[in-house]
Amino acid sequence: MSGKKGFDMVLAGVGGQGIVMLSNALGNACLAAGQKVITGELHGLSQRSGSVYIHMRIGGDVLSPLIPYGQADAIVSLEGMEALRYIEYLKENGVIIMNSRLIHPPVEVARLSREKRVDFVALDSILEKMKVVTSGIAAIDALSLAHKAGEPLAENAVFIGALSCLASFPLSAEQLKKGLLRVLPEQAAEKNMRAFDLGQQAAYETLCGQLECRMP
């Protein structure tokens, strides 16, 4: 495309995981850093457990809230399967930062039960499919890292931390932390900062051999 290329990413997850908070933290970080940002969001109804996504476009001469197919620099997914669900948006060799934990929807559980099978969709089969598009995949056990940070609800912070290690990401770790702090209640700040650091470390360890990363 002509015009300045920015950083495009798809945030994905399951309803109730806090994807809007994730987008708010990133959006506020962009604002503070003087970066242009637009999003296109799909979270119309309030029931939990559905698939939700937000397109986020940082910098770049673009107006469309939706990223064209095959143009996203990254997919960040709070749930493992949802990272693959939006794979058409990822560019060749784009980055996937995803939860290694899968949330199996009742549709899958019930089907396996009826067919007397136990072969739940596995992380490995998801990763194998993704590798057709990219090798830059960080599957992070965000829940255990969040537990380690002392706040199981801080999975979002783990992922923002993970993003900060990408050299191609237009915001620094400091700027991202500022955005996160803006949307968090004060008492949650310390544990979320710890979760951020753990996410950053985990993503660095997985991705540094494959793409340009910033040292935590």
Residues that bind other proteins (CB under 8 A): 1-3, 14-15, 23-24, 27-28, 30-31, 36-51, 61-66, 68-71, 81-82, 84-85, 87-88, 104-114, 118-121, 125-126, 129-130, 132-133, 182-183
Q: Which amino acid is at 22?
A: L
Nearer to other proteins, 46 or 215 (CB): 46
Taking CA atoms, 27 is separated from 20, 70, 175, 178, 212, in Å, by 10, 23, 11, 11, 24
How big is the CA angle at 173 (ends 135 and 131), to the nearest 5 degrees? 10
Q: Is 179 helix (H, G, I), strand (E, B) or coil?
A: helix
Burial of 46 (0-12, 13-18, 19+ CB in 10 A): exposed
Q: Is 203 helix (H, G, I), strand (E, B) or coil?
A: helix
| CB within 8 Å of 71: residues ≥ 6 apart | 8, 89, 91
Least spacing, CB of residue 62 vs other proteins, in Å:
5
Least spacing, CB of residue 5 vs other proteins, in Å:
11
Nearer to other proteins, 78 or 213 (CB): 78
Least spacing, CB of residue 191 vs other proteins, in Å:
17
Least spacing, CB of residue 40 vs other proteins, in Å:
6
Nearer to other proteins, 121 or 208 (CB): 121
**Dihedral sign from CA coordinates of 33, 34, 36, 39:** positive
Nearer to other proteins, 26 or 165 (CB): 26
What is d(CA 13, CA 53) in angstroms, rounded to the nearest whole number?
6
Least spacing, CB of residue 64 vs other proteins, in Å:
4
Nearer to other proteins, 118 or 215 (CB): 118
